[in-house]
Amino acid sequence: MLKEPESMDECVYFTRRIIGDGRISAWVFKEKCDKCNEGLMSKPKNPKTGKIKVRATEYVCSSCDNIEEKKEYEEKLTCNIKYKCPFCGFEGETQIPFKRKKVSKINEETGKRKSVEVLRFQCKKCNKDIDITKKMK
Ligand SMILES: [Zn+2]
Ligand SMILES: [Zn+2]
């Protein structure tokens, strides 16, 4: 059984999606700093508002001065996934590296192809690719 987060503060990433008849929850825990092994690496806060800078391109340690580039840090993390497969209905769990892939998809509204970033994993039963598409803002 995968460990589930108790609060969003523990996560770098958390999402729930419905895909056809399937559903997915995916989350990535914050990890301890490589340097001091004490602090948790998180996105920096705005010193004025105390809010996390969602679009920051780096992670900072909560107890030392360690800074890591966002992409480099995220690719070392593990994404935990609980899913019901939209293709075969299998319910399972899996873990993949928290690494997004660029794939080309057809936009159902416009019929045009465009490149999107996804977290891709395979169903343990039918082996089909299941994509968690990055949400566009
Ligand atoms: Zn540290
Ligand atoms: Zn399946």
Ligand number, closest to the Cα atom of 59: 1
- 50 belongs to a structural domain: yes
- Do residues 79 and 27 touch, judged by C-beta distance below 8 A? yes
- 134 belongs to a structural domain: no
- Do residues 95 and 112 touch, judged by C-beta distance below 8 A? no
Identify the domain containing residue 82 by its residue range: 8-98
Task: Say how many domains are in the chain.
Answer: 1
Model pLDDT for residues 77-86, shown as the tens digit of each residue: 999 999 999 9
Stretch 37-41: mean pLDDT: 94
Model pLDDT for residues 87-100, shown as the tens digit of each residue: 999 999 999 999 99
Ligand 1 centroid–CA 112 distance in Å is: 45
For 8, half-sphere exposure in the C-beta direction (CA atoms, 13 angstrom radius) is: 5
Ligand 1 centroid–CA 40 distance in Å is: 7
pLDDT at 31: 92
- 126 belongs to a structural domain: no
- 135 belongs to a structural domain: no
Higher local confidence (pLDDT), 105 or 80? 80
- 120 belongs to a structural domain: no
Ligand number, closest to the Cα atom of 129: 2
- Do residues 123 and 15 touch, judged by C-beta distance below 8 A? no
- 1 belongs to a structural domain: no
- 103 belongs to a structural domain: no
Ligand number, closest to the Cα atom of 88: 2
